[in-house]
Structure formats: structure tokens, C-alpha cells
Structure 1
Amino acid sequence: MARIRQDRLYRQNSHRWPQGRAGKKDSRYVRRGVLVKTVTKAVIPAAGLGTRFLPITKSMPKEMIPVVHKPVIHYVVEEAYLSGIKDILIITGKGKRAIEDYFDLDKNASGNEMIHSLDEILGRINIYYTRQKGVRGLGDAIGHAEAFAGGDPFAVLLGDTITIPPCTMALGSIYEKHGKSVIAVEKVPRDMIQNYGIVATSDDTRKDAFVIDDLIEKPVPEHAPSDLAILGSYLLTPEIFDCLREVTPDRKGEIQLTDALRILARKETVLGHVFNGRRLDIGNKIDWLKANIELALADPELGPHVEEFIRRLCP
């Protein structure tokens, strides 16, 4: 598992590394005799190749593909900000420079309301970047965040997924109650189970947070322990990094985060949270089109025009 030294990371809007447990700005409190830290860090993996969007992704990162007014990753950073995150590490790779350019402050476009709103967010958070040398799985990408985490808990938000309302906000609240890693899950149809990581539990899933017994990566439906699929939003304790080092690469040579979470669940309590909101997965063209239609219909300015257009198309 590759480790990234602090001097190999860089960021914008700040000149100091985010302070961890020993830092003066460390925010934590005691709940039920346990020291719990407020979650202020997030990791956004954005090194994927976006092959499902070829040929568009020959020259554009999939995270920069627009959904109505904004690129996908703009929504993701907004979710992190609304969830109380102050420091964000975006893990990039080959051909992803446009992401870094997008999150530069833009003094020449101050008259644009959306850019002004983005600049306000950028003035209140720190964004860091590091590169994943080759695509070796989500687990490998998360492993690059060890120095950034600095022994603190952190959220993980996928760079091509939008959740409404912000799922990270709910996970942060659960962590602050229990001090344990939390994985967001959602119910999926039985015929879709083989496309997801699935959790096993003997606990009551109607609770806000239930104990996860095991995790299975893309099981066949008849052998699946449940219909609760991993959503792609996580709140992780720093113990995940030791677990990642124990993972054996799969047949593709990739380190899977699900395998590390499985190890973590054997060592300590890992919680699940059933997310009942909307998840917009921009990982393929059909879901991207659906997300554009849904968010355009919800937009006060565009909604009436889009609705009228759809009525004409489908009389």
C-alpha cells in the first residue's frame, strides 16, 4: 500500500497541513466515557478512467461531466461542505487536471452567481490533491489518504455520486454518537444484487445505525445475505489503513475497499445506515441522463420548460 508523504500533497486556499489529534484546532468531546472527534475531513476518489463515457472522457474527467448547471464533482464538494467538512482531499490521476482548475478561485467571473457561490465555499474549506499512480481499486485510492487523515476519522464521497439530502451529514451524526465507522447502504432489487457490495447483519436495520456482521463483494442473488447494497458513502476511522495493508489484490490486481471493511468488521464494530434519500449515480450514460432530467425538473428556472418539453415528446 503506497503511502503519501505530506510534502507530496498540495492544496489551495491554505498554507498549513490540516491539524490532527495533536493540533490546536482539534475538535473532540467525550460521549459516554469515549473520546469522540468531530469529523472535518473528507476524501473524494476521482482517479477512475470513465470508460463508460468514452469518447467524452478522452479529454474530460468523468467527474467534470455536467449535470444541469454544474459538474458532478461540484455537487460532491457541496455535500461535503454542507456536512461540516473543512478539509477535502481529492485523489486524481492521469487526465484529471481540469478538476484542479475548476476549484481555483475565479476573480474574473465575480458577476456570475454560481461562481460567486462556489468561491464562497472555497473560501471556507481547504482542498488538497494527490495522484493515484494507476487505477488499482478504490481501496488503493483510500490508502493514499493516510497522511492526510493524520489519525482522524474521515468521510469518503465518490466523485460521481450525488445524494439528496446529503448522506455524509447523516453519517457524521451517527459517528459522533457512536465513534465507529459507518457505511451507507440502500435496498436494491434482487436482480441487481450482483452489481454491488452487500452487507450481512443480524441487527435491526430499522434502527438509525445497525451493526454489520460481514460484507460480500458482488454476490450472486441466491447467495446474498441481504438486499442492502453499499451506497458509496462512508465515514471511516483511521484503523481502516491497517486493514487495507492486509488486503490481497483481486484478480485484476486491485485493492478493494470492501475487503478492507470486511477485515475491519472482524476487529471492531462497523455500523450500517439505511439511506432513504435519493442517490444519483453518474457512473453510466443512462443514469447520467436520468439525473439531468430529475434535477432539471426540480430547478425553479428550468423545471417548467423541461416539463413542457417532455409533455410534447410524450403526448
Structure 2
Amino acid sequence: MNRKIKNSATRIRKAVIPAAGLGTRFLPATKALPKEMLPIVDIPTIQYIVEEAVESGIEEILIITNSTKHVMENHFDKNYELEERLKASGKMKQLEQIDEIANLANIFYIRQKEPKGLGDAILCAKSFIGDEPFAVLLGDDVVVNEGGKAALKQLIDQYEETRASIVGVQTVDKKDVSKYGIVAPSQSHPASGRLVKLSDMVEKPATDQAPSQMAVLGRYVLNPEIFELLETQGRGAGNEIQLTDAIKRLMDRQAVYAYDFEGIRYDVGDKFGFIKATIDFSLKREDLKDKVQEYINTLVTK
């Protein structure tokens, strides 16, 4: 059954960033510090996500938090005392950096009262989004596409062509499919370049039951009908309300596509992925690359 998509001419101007998770994989660091504030060199991961949204044309961002994450809100706010001290010390470059952070975008916050899963976190954004299509960016996935479009912008461009919900995917190793939501391409609609129509999605399937190796990797553009489905979505994998399950039901109403976005994706919710990101980002910094490369060379020759 194909239902008419609401407000199909509306452009994507709002984004949701779920950031209410407890970050237990990074304990004890995340006992007092939100995992989204763990820095890749000297920039918190959440800032990379916000910057990608802004680069993609997003104007308003809602971050889903919990009661322990005040420091994240403070990061994107003004700090007049710090600014005055930097100014008095003549540290104008640092002053410019923190001023830019406070002016990145219009950022709003709402708390997810219970940890009931990603689907429930997205549902918290219903009033903020209203009757518009919107973007979702997960904070565990930092994507770098040097010289090209940001990952989210690639999905937004596809939405403007199809007016259908788009999930961002990349191919993962077969042994890793059980970590992700995995998509099933439609057999009756051949892929068009990197864009493929979907017939199914499975949340964290067993290796021998995965319909493909294309994993949903933290970027979505969704039509607002998803909220109606999330309101009635039962618990799924992990006894949580899964966004994947609601998107699967959305396929019964309207077309849903996957887009194999370009870029290097870092799973910064994983310790090794976080280390890889830190090394790669430091090697691209003029103030660090020589020292880091020299140290790596000493390790290799030992």
C-alpha cells in the first residue's frame, strides 16, 4: 500500500542527534564524562557530528540527552568568563575557535527519560520535527569525505530526487553483520548507482541470516510518517524500541531506499575505532603529523 507522502516539497532543515546512551563501552572514562565529549585529539566527537549537519545545510538540531549530560550542552553554549580571559591573554585564535562553536547552529535539547532504545529516542523529537522530513545522525559514526560532499549531504541530495526515506549504508565484513542493522535490496528494482530500493531490514542478524552485507551506519533522512509507527512499535532486539523495525514497517506504506555513501567511516563507539580516528586525524594536522609519524616509525622499527 502506497500512501501519499506528506509535505513532499519540504527541504531538509532539521536534524536529530541521539546522545542519551550511557557509553558503557568506555567506562570508567564515561562515568562522569559523556562519551560524545571524548575528544578525537582536541575536538569532541559530538562537534564533528554537528559540523557535518551544518555542512549539509541543516539549520536546527535537536540533541537527545539524559540527565547526566550537562557538559555537552555547555560545550555549544557561550562561556563569557573563558572568553574574557582569552581576550585578556591575547589568545585570539583560541577565542575565535570557541566563539565559532557557540555559533555553529541553533541547537536544542530534550531528555530521553528512560533508556528504551534508538526508536524511542527519535520519538522524543516528534514535536520538534512536526510535519517535516528530517535527518538523523548517530554520534558513534564519524565520517570523513575529503574533497567531497559530507555523508549526510549525499543522503539529502538523494531525498531531493526520490522524496523517499533514505538510510545511509556501507558494506561491512560478513563477520561484523551482527553488530548492525542490515538492509535487503529489492529484487524487483535494480540498483541505480549507489542508490538501491529496499525490501527489508534486519536488526543485528546472525551471520548466516543476514540478507546482505550492507550495514546502516548512522545516517538517515526520514519522512515524518515514521513517528506514527514509532508510537506503536513494540520492543525488538535488545528488548529496545528499534528504529530499524519502524523503518521496516514504513516500507509497507512507501518506498524506502539505501544509499551507499562515500567517505571513510570511523566507529568511535568502539575503542579500536576511536584509536584509529585519533591516529588518522592527528596525521592530518600540521601541528602534529610529523611528530606522530615519527613516533609510529619508531614503533615499527622496534
- TM-score norm. by structure 2 comes to 0.89
Going from structure 1 to structure 2, the CA distance change for 1:159 and 1:72 (only over 3 Å counts) comes to same
1:10-46 per-residue CA deviation (whole Å, 9 max, x = no partner) reads: xxxxxxxxxxxxxxxxxxxxxxxx9421111000000
What is the DSSP-based 3-state SS (H/G/I as helix, E as strand, rest coil) of the residue aligned with 2:291? helix
Going from structure 1 to structure 2, the CA distance change for 1:158 and 1:312 (only over 3 Å counts) comes to same
Q: What residue in structure 2 maps to residue 84 of structure 1?
A: 57
1:154-203 per-residue CA deviation (whole Å, 9 max, x = no partner) reads: 11011232111221111111111111110001101111111111100124
Going from structure 1 to structure 2, the CA distance change for 1:193 and 1:86 (only over 3 Å counts) comes to same
Shift of 1:301: 1.8
Over the residues paired in the alignment, what is the CA RMSD in angstroms?
1.7
What is the DSSP-based 3-state SS (H/G/I as helix, E as strand, rest coil) of the residue aligned with 1:152? coil
Query: Where do 1:56-205 residues align within 5 Å?
Result: 56-107=29-80, 108=83, 109=86, 111=91, 113=93, 116-117=96-97, 119-120=99-100, 122-123=102-103, 125-165=105-145, 166-201=150-185, 202=187, 203-205=189-191
For 2:181 and 2:191, how far apart are their aligned partners in 1?
17
Structure 2 gap ranges (5+): 1-6
Instruction: Tell me how many residue pairs correspond in the alignment.
Output: 282
For 1:307 and 1:225, how far apart are their aligned partners in 2?
41
For 1:114 and 1:188, how far apart are their aligned partners in 2?
39
What is the DSSP-based 3-state SS (H/G/I as helix, E as strand, rest coil) of the residue aligned with 1:266? coil
For 2:73 and 2:225, how far apart are their aligned partners in 1?
29
Corresponding position: 1:46 with 2:32: no
**Matched residues, percent identical?**
43
Q: What residue in structure 1 maps to residue 3 of structure 2?
A: none
Shift of 1:68: 1.0
Deviates more, 1:249-258 or 1:159-168: 249-258
1:35-94 per-residue CA deviation (whole Å, 9 max, x = no partner) reads: 421111000000000000001111100000010120100101100110111100000013
- TM-score norm. by structure 1 comes to 0.85
For 2:246 and 2:92, how far apart are their aligned partners in 1?
44
Going from structure 1 to structure 2, the CA distance change for 1:43 and 1:118 (only over 3 Å counts) comes to farther
For 2:120 and 2:195, how far apart are their aligned partners in 1?
27
What is the DSSP-based 3-state SS (H/G/I as helix, E as strand, rest coil) of the residue aligned with 1:294? helix
Going from structure 1 to structure 2, the CA distance change for 1:251 and 1:199 (only over 3 Å counts) comes to closer
Amino acid at match of 1:79: E
Amino acid at match of 1:178: T
